[in-house]
Chain A
Amino acid sequence: ELKVEQNPLFLSMQEGKNYTIYCNYSTTSDRLYWYRQDPGKSLESLFVLLSNGAVKQEGRLMASLDTKARLSTLHITAAVHDLSATYFCAVDMEETSGSRLTFGEGTQLTVNP
Chain B
Amino acid sequence: EAGVAQSPRYKIIEKRQSVAFWCNPISGHATLYWYQQILGQGPKLLIQFQNNGVVDDSQLPKDRFSAERLKGVDSTLKIQPAKLEDSAVYLCASSLALASSEQFFGPGTRLTVL
Contacts and interface: CB of A to CB of B under 8 A. Distances in A.
Interface of A: 4, 31, 33, 35, 40-45, 48, 88, 90, 94, 97-106
Interface of B: 31, 40-45, 48, 50, 55-56, 91, 95, 98-108, 110
Given A42-B91, A42-B106, A43-B105, A104 B99 contact: no
Contacts of B56: 97-98, 100
A106 B37 CA distance: 11
Instruction: Please classify the interface of chain A as helix (H, G, I), strand (E, B), loop, or mixed, using the class held by over half of its residues.
Output: strand
Contacts of A106: 40-42
B5 to A, nearest CB: 11
Contacts, number: 58
Given A94-B100, A99-B103, A105 B41 contact: yes
Given A33-B102, A98-B98, A99-B95, A43 B43 contact: yes
Contact of B42 (A41, A48, A90): A90
B69 to A, nearest CB: 15
B94 to A, nearest CB: 11
Contacts of B103: 99, 101
Contacts of A100: 45, 48, 56
